[in-house]
Amino acid sequence: MNPKLTTPARGDSRPANAIFRRRPAATTLAMLAVVIALPLVVPSATLACEILIFAMAVLGCNLLLGYTGLLSFGQAIFFGSGAYVAALAMIHWQVGLFTALLLAAAAGGLLALLVGALAIRRTGIYFVMLTLALTQMAYFIAYTLSDWTGGDNGLLDVPRPPLAIGGFTLFDLASPLAFYGLVAVLFVLLYLGARRVIDSAFGSTLLAIRENEARAAAVGYDTRHFKILAFALSGAVTGLAGALYAMLLNFAPLSNIELPMSEQILIMTIIGGTGSLFGSLLGAGTIVILGDLLSALWPRWMLLLGVALIAVVMFMRGGLWGGLESLGRRRAGAARKAQEDA
pLDDT at 70: 93
Model pLDDT for residues 86-101, shown as the tens digit of each residue = 999 999 998 999 999 9
Q: Is residue 191 within 8 Å of 31, Cβ to Cβ?
A: yes
* Residue 65 CA to its chain's centroid (Å): 10
pLDDT number for residue 10: 40
Task: Give the pLDDT confidence score for residue 301 in this predicted structure.
Answer: 80
Name residues of the chain where pLDDT drops below 70.
Answer: 1-23
> What's the Cα-to-Cα distance from 273 to each of 14, 212, 318, rounded to whole Å?
8, 20, 5
Q: In sequence order, which residues have a C-beta less than 8 Å from that of residue 146 and are 6 or more positions away? A: 152
Please report the pLDDT score of residue 17 as a whole number.
Answer: 47
Written as one letter, the residue type at 280 is: S
Strand 251-252 to 155-156 pairing:
antiparallel
CB 42 within 8 A of CB 180: no
* pLDDT at res. 22: 55
Helix (H) or strand (E) holding 169: strand 168-171
